[in-house]
């Protein structure tokens, strides 16, 4: 049975909150509608999917949970996906959603097989040469399946199922985990975890806990890793040097852990009947709830297509999705993301600005000042009407400093400079009026006042609280996260040269009547910080190319409906001409032998329905379950000459492949670099030619 259609319907159910979303015949056939928790407090938050077998180890693809039950694997609807003929110990789903691998024991031998995720019972591979495997995991890019077997890590191509490499390790790990950036492999054996550098294949660090490790999860931003041990201890480490950051104990049996999507909260299954969700900025801030059915051993955070966050967990007879809409967001991340974008724009040279004027406007001191101003502005906007909901009270008076404590129930206390002889005017807090409020964020991700004018209506005097020079978001000011100013200035100058190349090529295209003013090509160059697999700071060079075409002119100047070859888009051809000219001239110095470059190619399509099969001539090759990011989520796609193009996703993909082929042949061929091409596709909800376009990003790794 093909399950893809039913899984798509399934994902909509928790969002709808409706038992009768499907026709009764279909509900009866598939036991499709979930049963809801009966508690009035939980009715709108929990969605239970009854199971005939006890769900064990969970895994997920995007929003859908799968689980082990004895020798079998089931989906959320309780449909059997495979019978491996062995007692299963581990399940891992290919991150691109094509397949899943299971590891089990049959007698004294290991059984390792890969099955199709969408067609029940379809085995895609059985690894006959594996006899003593103890752990499995897929790489985050879905390219390889790693297997711990007899003192080695064996690497298999995830689609061809052929061995592509191996390296020796110590011990026999029971669990394998890979960091989101693919740099590090964590091999767990009892209370020990060994971290391997996947580039060098060498161990880089060992961490020893006081009890066996039960689970590990990386934060979604990849900056931290949580290690959970059976003595009830949750420990977090940074992922550069694996230096300890935080320890939280008293977590019961500590069965499993999971970071939420914005990396602020971690769930911990503290026992088969209880789950805790802990704020990692303030571990005292946590929520517990009991599971009446018991049987809980695993819980994972998921996000649906509407960006709603759920926690999925198992019980004795069900899989439960719990809506976690009340979790406070990661304010620091939201603020820092916007701050970085605004600072990048601020540091660009303005039109007509001379280098001398630029150096006066942008220097180390003004950069810090501007970052602080932006931080304050963003935090104040985020706080909105927070103060209107605050209860104000008066605290103690510091005679040595001449400051009066003013307390708030939702904000940290401020200390207002008030002369001692004016204290009698502060007997009634109702006389105080707060204006010109400015906010910042504390280290524990909470709002604080950094500036306020306080009018005492009884005396008519105004007092100013000013703490804008406090230390805040220090990591944004540190040497580790800031790009040297000379490199910022250099990228600005190179950005000007890049725009000159663009203007010259577009002028020629307009002369030849290929383009008009209705096509706009954007180019940008900037230096960004990162870390290598050894944890050392590196500076990458990011160069972006993209174009837009006004709707009325898209059929003439860009891809017409159903077209995909770059030769059929004057806008795409012009962008590629800019790329080639740039890397043949001004930017040739970044194309260095032996250096790594990541090339992200994004093909786009609109939502105009494809009513007939479009011919695909196979000029870019045939693709089967090719990993691709669809609207930001890792997925897969297949396109072949024989089957043609029937979906907009395929159309977007082959448009990107034309650009990728051009770059490989005309820009990077013969340069002896280490290119990593990553496919992205976007299909918009709207229709029209303005949505059919291409974006390209070059990221030169450790460029300087």
pLDDT digits (tens, 9 = 90+) for 78-95: 999 999 999 999 999 999
Please give the average per-residue pLDDT across 459-464, as a whole number: 96
Vertex 639: Cα angle to 637 and 642 (nearest 5): 150
Does the pLDDT of residue 651 top 60, yes or no? yes
Count the residues in the chain: 704
pLDDT digits (tens, 9 = 90+) for 32-63: 344 444 444 444 588 999 999 999 999 999 99
pLDDT digits (tens, 9 = 90+) for 411-430: 999 999 999 999 999 989 99
pLDDT digits (tens, 9 = 90+) for 91-101: 999 999 999 99
Residue 51 near residue 293 (C-beta atoms within 8 A): no
pLDDT score of 554: 82
CB-neighbour burial class of residue 409 (10 A; exposed 0-12, middle 13-18, buried 19+): exposed
Among residues 169, 201, 204, 175, the alpha carbon closest in space to that of 188 is found at 175
pLDDT score of 45: 85
Structure confidence at residue 113 as a pLDDT band (50, 70, 90): very high
Residues near 471 by beta carbon (within 8 Å), at least 6 away in sequence: none
Does the pLDDT of residue 474 top 60, yes or no? no
- Taking all residues of the chain, what is their mean pLDDT, rounded to a whole number? 89
CA atoms of 314 and 255, how far apart (whole Å): 12
Residue 674 burial (CB count, 10 A): 12
CA atoms of 657 and 579, how far apart (whole Å): 16
Range from 1-15, 317-331, 623-637, 651-665 carrying the lowest mean pLDDT:
1-15
pLDDT digits (tens, 9 = 90+) for 522-533: 999 999 999 999
Does the pLDDT of residue 329 top 60, yes or no? yes
Does the pLDDT of residue 652 top 70, yes or no? yes
pLDDT digits (tens, 9 = 90+) for 299-325: 999 999 888 999 999 999 999 999 999
pLDDT score of 130: 86
pLDDT score of 632: 84
Does the pLDDT of residue 13 top 60, yes or no? no
Characterize the bridge pairing of strands 623-630 and 633-639.
Answer: antiparallel
Does the pLDDT of residue 702 top 50, yes or no? yes
3-state secondary structure of 606: coil
**Backbone torsions φ then ψ of 669, nearest 5 degrees:** -60, 130
Does the pLDDT of residue 656 top 90, yes or no? yes
Structure confidence at residue 508 as a pLDDT band (50, 70, 90): very high
Does the pLDDT of residue 585 top 60, yes or no? yes
Share of the chain above pLDDT 70, in %: 92
pLDDT score of 44: 58
Does the pLDDT of residue 6 top 80, yes or no? no
Question: 77 versus 555: which is more confidently predicted?
Answer: 77
Q: What is the largest CA-CA distance in the chain?
A: 90
Residue 407 near residue 413 (C-beta atoms within 8 A): yes
Range from 504-508, 551-555, 591-595 carrying the lowest mean pLDDT:
551-555
User: What is the torsional sign of CA 353, 357, 362, 366?
Assistant: negative
Q: What's the chain's Rg over C-alpha atoms?
A: 29
Residue 436 backbone zone (phi > 0: left; psi -120 to 50: alpha; other: beta): left
pLDDT score of 696: 96
Share of the chain above pLDDT 90, in %: 78
Per DSSP, the residues of 237-274 read EETTT--EEEEE---TT--EEEE-TTSSEEEEEEETTE
pLDDT digits (tens, 9 = 90+) for 170-226: 999 999 999 999 999 999 999 999 999 999 999 999 999 999 999 999 999 999 999
Residues near 11 by beta carbon (within 8 Å), at least 6 away in sequence: 62, 63, 64, 304, 305
Instruction: Map out the domains of the chain with their CATH numbers.
Output: 347-476 (no CATH), 484-700 (3.30.1330.60)
pLDDT score of 21: 30
Among residues 601, 422, 417, 571, the alpha carbon closest in space to that of 509 is found at 571
CA atoms of 22 and 404, how far apart (whole Å): 63
Predicted model pTM: 0.89
Please give the average per-residue pLDDT across 655-675, as a whole number: 94
First CA to last CA distance, the chain: 54
């Amino acid at each position: 049975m093909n399950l893809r259609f039913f899984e798509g319907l399934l994902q909509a159910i928790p969002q709808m909150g409706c038992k009768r979303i499907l026709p009764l015949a279909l509900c009866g056939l598939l036991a499709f509608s979930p049963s809801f928790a009966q508690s009035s407090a939980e009715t709108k938050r929990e969605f239970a999917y009854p199971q005939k077998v006890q769900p064990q180890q969970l895994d997920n693809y995007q929003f859908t949970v799968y689980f082990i039950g004895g020798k079998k694997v089931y989906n959320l609807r309780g449909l059997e996906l495979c019978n491996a003929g062995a007692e299963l110990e581990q399940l891992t789903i290919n991150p691109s959603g094509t397949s899943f691998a299971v590891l089990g024991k049959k007698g004294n031998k290991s059984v390792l097989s890969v099955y199709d995720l969408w067609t029940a019972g379809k085995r895609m591979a059985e690894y006959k040469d594996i006899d003593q495997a103890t752990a499995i995991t897929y790489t985050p890019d879905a390219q390889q399946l790693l297997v711990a077997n007899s003192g080695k890590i064996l690497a298999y191509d995830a689609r061809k199922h052929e061995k592509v490499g191996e390296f020796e390790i110590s011990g026999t790990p029971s669990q394998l985990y890979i960091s989101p950036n693919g740099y590090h492999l964590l091999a767990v054996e009892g209370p020990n975890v060994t971290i391997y550098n996947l580039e060098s294949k060498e161990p880089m660090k060992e961490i020893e806990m006081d009890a066996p490790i039960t689970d590990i999860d990386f934060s979604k931003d990849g900056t931290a890793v949580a290690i959970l041990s059976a003595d009830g201890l949750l420990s977090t480490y940074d992922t550069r040097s694996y230096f300890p950051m935080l320890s939280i104990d008293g977590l019961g049996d500590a069965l499993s852990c999971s970071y939420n999507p914005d990396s602020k909260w971690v769930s911990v299954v503290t026992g088969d009947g209880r789950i805790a969700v802990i704020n990692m900025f303030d571990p005292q801030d946590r929520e517990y709830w009991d599971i009446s059915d018991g049987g809980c051993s695993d819980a994972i955070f998921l996000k649906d297509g509407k960006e709603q966050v759920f926690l999925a967990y198992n019980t004795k007879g069900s899989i439960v999705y719990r809506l976690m809409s009340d979790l406070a967001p990661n304010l620091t991340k939201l603020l820092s993301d916007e701050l970085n974008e605004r600072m990048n724009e601020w540091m660009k040279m303005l039109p007509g600005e001379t280098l001398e004027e630029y150096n006066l406007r942008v220097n180390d001191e003004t950069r810090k000042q501007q970052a602080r101003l932006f931080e304050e502005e963003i935090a104040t906007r985020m706080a909105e009407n927070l103060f209107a909901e605050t209860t104000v009270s008066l605290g103690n008076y510091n005679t040595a400093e001449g400051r009066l404590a003013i307390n708030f129930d939702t904000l940290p206390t401020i200390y207002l400079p008030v002369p001692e002889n004016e204290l009698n005017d502060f007997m009634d807090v109702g006389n105080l009026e707060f204006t010109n409020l400015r906010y910042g964020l504390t280290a524990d991700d909470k709002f604080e006042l950094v500036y306020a004018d306080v009018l005492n209506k009884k005396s008519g005097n105004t007092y100013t609280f000013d703490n804008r020079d406090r230390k805040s978001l220090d990591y944004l000011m540190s040497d580790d996260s800031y790009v040297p100013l000379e490199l910022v200035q250099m990228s600005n100058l190179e950005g000007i040269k890049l725009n000159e190349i663009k203007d010259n090529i577009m002028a020629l295209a307009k002369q030849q009547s290929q383009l008009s003013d209705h096509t706009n090509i954007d180019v940008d160059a900037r230096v960004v910080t990162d870390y290598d697999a050894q944890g050392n700071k590196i500076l990458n060079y990011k160069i972006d190319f993209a174009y837009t075409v006004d709707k009325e002119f898209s059929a003439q100047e860009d891809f017409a409906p159903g077209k995909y070859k770059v030769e059929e888009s004057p806008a795409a051809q012009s962008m590629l001409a800019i790329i080639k000219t740039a890397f043949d001239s001004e930017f040739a110095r970044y194309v260095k032998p032996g250096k790594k470059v990541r090339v992200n190619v994004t093909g786009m399509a609109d939502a105009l329905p494809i009513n007939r099969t479009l011919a695909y001539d196979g000029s870019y090759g045939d693709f089967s379950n090719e990993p691709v990011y669809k609207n930001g989520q890792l997925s897969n796609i297949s396109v072949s000459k024989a089957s043609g193009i029937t979906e907009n996703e395929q159309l977007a993909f082959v448009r990107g492949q034309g650009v990728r082929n051009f770059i490989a042949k005309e820009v990077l061929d013969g340069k002896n670099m280490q290119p990593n091409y990553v496919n992205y596709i976007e299909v918009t909800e709207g229709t029209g030619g303005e949505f059919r376009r291409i974006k390209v990003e070059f990221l030169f790794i450790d460029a300087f």
